[in-house]
Amino acid sequence: MKNVLSAIQPTGDIHIGNYFGAVQNWVRLQQDYHCTYGVVDYHSMTMPYKADQLRENTWKMVFYLLACGVKPENLFIQSLIPEHVELCWVLNCVASYGELTRMTQFKDKTEQLHESDKDAFVSVGLFDYPVLQAADILMYHAHFVPVGKDQEQHLELSRNIAHRFNFQFGKEYFVHPEPLFTATPKILSPADPNRKMSKSLGEKHYINLFAEPERIRKQIKSAVTDTGDTPAGEMSAGVSNLFEIIQACGKKEAYDALMEDYKNGSLKYSSLKETVAEALVELITPLRTKLDELNADKRAVKAQIQDSSAQFRKKAQQTVREVREIVGLPNLK
């Protein structure tokens, strides 16, 4: 079985965009690959954050992922494996400065910081973010990395780093990781369907995966359907987003029936919205039940993830030991 690795930052909440765009796919991949998934808390230190919140959000994300069906033995917390930082240092010395200055995520995030404050502090950590990501991937010899298109450039950097390392030290040591672009939907903000659903836009722009059913119904009911800028004869972004969600929920029959109505001009937005809301509630209810079960014994769940992280740490230590040999550093006995 080939190795798959992916990771997500502990952002506090998980929204249906994250679920349909990433996590659902992670869960499915567990059947066919040897999967390793990380909650990357070191990465979350690259933008302004609060220390007590980071730890809380890290555990929150662990619980959410488990509730969604990620297997505990496949999950680790990045900072419990400090070898990621050590490998990052070694890779820093084969990554080129020029290459990192071209990373669009770095430019976007720098701009985002400067938007709120023109003298904003931009850390070396933010600049180095993609090298730490390369360390996550190369550490476990991942063949495939399921990511969204926005991460394509970082993946290419990881490949370049692996290639340069192998060339420089004359040994085919690191696997060249390939992106795994599974067709996952891009979910838009219900309040502004011209933008991608995202937590950073504010509360009304994302639907929390673990929200109360009533809140979900309310949010879908007030979803924007017409923004007034849709060319005649085309489906508006808001309506197409609602169709997308029905499809993502696996409701093919309802999707086909409503699409038929749309095509012959008899579609009522109220019934479209009702179908979307009920499909989401149906999907989310068992996930909420699972989350409640996990929360009932928090200590045991945390211990399980500490154990799985310790198991992954053994693999990481092995990699780092081999890397130290290759690059000319001494090892302990």
Binding site for ligand TRP (CB under 6 A): 5-7, 9, 40, 43, 133, 136-137, 145, 147, 151, 154
Q: Which stretch binds ligand AMP (CB under 6 A): 20-28, 50-58, 247-255, 296-304?
A: 20-28
Give me the least distance between CB of 180 and ligand AMP, in Å please. 11
Give me the least distance between CB of 78 and ligand TRP, in Å please. 8
Q: Is 268 a catalytic residue?
A: no
- Residue of this chain nearest to ligand AMP (CB atom): 21
Give me the least distance between CB of 159 and ligand AMP, in Å please. 18
Which residue in 252, 237, 250 sits closest to 186, CA to CA?
A: 237
27-46: contacts with ligand AMP (CB under 6 A): none
Give me the least distance between CB of 60 and ligand AMP, in Å please. 13
Dist CA 271 CA 213 (whole Å) = 17
Please state whether 202 falls in left (phi above 0), alpha (psi between -120 and 50) or beta: left
Residue choice 5, 9, 142, 159 for contact with ligand AMP (CB under 6 A): 9
Q: How crowded is residue 198: how many other Cβ atoms within 10 Å of its Cβ? A: 16
Partner whose footprint covers residue 197, from ligand TRP, ligand AMP, none (CB < 5 to 8 Å by kind): ligand AMP
Of 193 and 320, the one with the shorter C-beta distance to ligand AMP is 193
Residue choice 18, 74, 208, 319 for contact with ligand AMP (CB under 6 A): 18
Q: Is 218 a catalytic residue?
A: no
Q: Is 199 a catalytic residue?
A: yes
Active-site choice (186, 199, 221, 290): 199
Residue choice 4, 5, 7, 22 for contact with ligand AMP (CB under 6 A): 22
Dihedral angle of Cα 275, 276, 278, 281, to the nearest 10 degrees: 170
Task: Give the catalytic positions in this structure.
Answer: 109, 196, 199
- Name the site residues for ligand AMP (rule: CB under 6 A): 8-9, 11, 17-18, 20-22, 147-148, 186-187, 196-198
